[in-house]
């Protein structure tokens, strides 16, 4: 049990990588708090009998975050997973869409960290360590992709935020890393494929991005989530960790 005794909160946990991470962390012995705005998705997660505690939480709502942090107390792990993929070049993004992506993909992580970090630091002082994991992407400061103007901008900012948190709290037992996946087969990716003008071609194009010749599954990603939230990665902080099927070779 690699996460035995650890209390870990995961956002965007109703589907996709967040949900798979909640299940993987619970399977490794963690006490998992799963949050999302999708209450039906959370209900099916809680209904699986895995002991996962679920709460509706909009990571754009500071008051709700602060209230949950006050109730939850100290965490050993925080996985900020929520994010949204906007499709378009810089010429296509409205101010409203730009502001939405910045708020959901980056500002939410600032809010969550401000709310949960003080008690995490206290707990780290007692246990010897705590970890924050922020969901970035290979589409970020790592690599440019077509039609990912605001998305790539926000995920680059996530890496910057991650490094600043790592630098500020490295001496207090708090580690912070960013996860940078390639193209992962999740409900939102299926939505992006379905909404393309030619969905069959869109799926082929997404697959062709990976030299390994396939999409990642959520199970290709969760071992890294468990590792980065566990004590096995105790000498690692401030890193943007790629798991991309060879895209950036």
Q: Catalytic residue positions?
A: 151
Longest dimension (CA), the chain: 55
- Closer residue to ligand NAD, CB minimum distance, 63 or 171: 63
- Restricted to residues 185-244, the positions that interact with ligand NAD (CB under 6 A) are 186-189
Q: Contact at 8 Å (CB) between 174 and 117?
A: yes
Listed ranges 93-101, 159-167, 169-177, 181-189: which one lies at the site for ligand NAD (CB under 6 A) = 181-189
Query: Which residue in the set 2, 60, 62, 163 belongs to the binding site for ligand NAD (CB under 6 A)?
Result: 60
Least distance to ligand NAD from the beta carbon of 32, Å? 15
C-alpha 106/C-alpha 116 separation (Å) is: 16
- Restricted to residues 4-23, the positions that interact with ligand NAD (CB under 6 A) are 11-12, 14-18
Query: Which residue in the set 85, 132, 149, 226 belongs to the binding site for ligand NAD (CB under 6 A)?
Result: 85
The contact set with ligand NAD (CB under 6 A) reads 11-12, 14-18, 36-38, 41, 57-60, 81-83, 85, 104, 135, 137, 181, 183-184, 186-189
């Amino acid at each position: 049990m690699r996460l035995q005794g650890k209390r870990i909160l995961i956002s965007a946990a109703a589907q996709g990588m967040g949900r798979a991470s909640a299940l993987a962390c619970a399977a490794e012995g963690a006490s998992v708090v799963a949050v999302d705005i999708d209450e039906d998705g959370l209900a099916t997660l809680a209904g699986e009998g895995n002991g996962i505690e679920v709460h509706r939480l909009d990571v754009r709502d500071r008051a709700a975050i602060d209230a949950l942090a006050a109730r939850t107390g100290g965490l050993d792990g925080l996985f900020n997973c929520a994010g949204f993929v906007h499709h378009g070049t810089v010429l296509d993004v409205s101010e409203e869409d730009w502001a939405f992506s910045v708020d959901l993909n980056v500002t939410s992580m600032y809010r969550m960290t401000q709310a949960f970090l003080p008690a995490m630091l206290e707990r780290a002082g007692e246990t010897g360590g705590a970890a924050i994991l922020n969901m970035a992407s290979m589409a970020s400061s790592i690599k440019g992709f077509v039609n990912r103007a605001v998305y790539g901008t926000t995920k680059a900012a996530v890496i910057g935020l991650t490094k600043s948190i790592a630098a500020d709290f490295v001496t207090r037992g708090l580690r912070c890393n960013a996860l940078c996946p390639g193209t992962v087969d999740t409900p939102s990716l299926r939505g992006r494929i379905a909404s393309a003008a030619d969905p069959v071609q869109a799926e082929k194009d997404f697959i062709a991005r990976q030299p390994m010749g396939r999409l990642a599954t959520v199970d290709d990603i969760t071992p890294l989530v468990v590792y980065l939230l566990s004590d096995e990665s105790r000498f690692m902080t401030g890193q943007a960790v790629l798991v991309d099927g060879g895209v950036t070779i």
